[in-house]
Structure 1
Amino acid sequence: MLSTDHVGAVFFDVDGTLVPGTSSSAYLAAFLGHLDELTAAEDAYARGDMDNRRVSELDAKGWAGVPEEHVPGRLEGLPLVLGITETVSWCRRNGLVPVLATLAWSPVGSYLTDRFGFHAFSGPRLETVGNRYTGRVAHHFDGYDKRDFALAQARALGLAPGSCGAVGDSRSDLPLFASVALSVAFNASAGAREAANVSVESGDLRDTLPALSRLRARL
């Protein structure tokens, strides 16, 4: 439940941030049988040779025919960094609303929101018909959409961007990093580290708390 005395918000990325060393899409692609194709596409995206829209379309094809109910159970084994529960709890105790700002598919955002108590989540959506995925994208989502989602969430919470922080790791986080008061590069690419206010290398999300504490102290 959202406290009425919140003073700020923190937007957390998923792939490469909460999910270390891989992506939730790659984890699910291994189960669905198209990991090699997705890995090549994600590598091309990381090099700047492919845009997020094309990666999403290629990934979505591997979901064709899969029943929606088969996915949540698979996500229980999703690799995650330590300290998510404790970091979300700390944010809520300190009046910072924890939100997922991510390009992960909506079933992933929904699962993590329910499991850890995030306030809301963003992300692209897969098309479904009759409770099965069709292999097509219903709604695309990129790094600028992530920024716009976060700023809309802030407005809905009655907050200015100067009361918000972001924790992320890659190119898709840069528009959001440039729009909030505090940006934390967590196990991040060189570009994200350069753009961020703070850089943290750790397997435990709680190691971002000193930076988040400084944001809280300013509010």
Structure 2
Amino acid sequence: MPRVSEAHLAARRQQILDAAVRCFTRNGFHQTSMQDVIKEADLSVGAFYRYFKSKNELIMAIAGTKISEVTGILDHLLTLDPMPPLPVFLDQVISQVEATLAADQTVRIAVQVWGEATHDDEVAEVVRDVYGRIRERMVRIAERAKDSGQLPADADAFGVGAAIFGLIQGYILQRILVGSVNQQIYVEGVRSLLGKV
């Protein structure tokens, strides 16, 4: 029996994730069965379960991919010298949110996952890990902002980082639940809240 290439395995895994995104976006997490995703992916049951054993595993994989995109942006911005103003960080992450909404709607799944995390310990653990990585970077951004004089020297970096992270989640919720939110106006509003930066 010929050995399956790594590229084939990766492509098949992505095929499943793309199918799951379409199903979860169209029908919601709870209304989507594993059979729905298998059918959407156009695979046999055996082929599917070689890659994923549960909806939670699918969610973890989708979340991990999207969070890696966001952390990549933040990691790049953290390397810049001089330190960009805090609203630039926010604007870049929101731009990624908008790009994701335009491409595949996975941001909508994030809101479903937040709700699921309130009563599913496995999902909650993933959410804590995934979003903890973003918040940790926001704290590092706040520390650099203090060092560059954008924030008062006595500002609590953890508190500022958590607040910036909350602004991103707030944008996502408004975008998904309320409707159109103007990114530029939102970021300018944050700039006004921060005062001088």
TM (norm. structure 2) is 0.32
Larger Rg over CA atoms: 2
Q: Which has the higher strand share?
A: 1
TM (norm. structure 1) is 0.30
| Larger RCO (CA within 8 A; separation ≥ 6) | 1
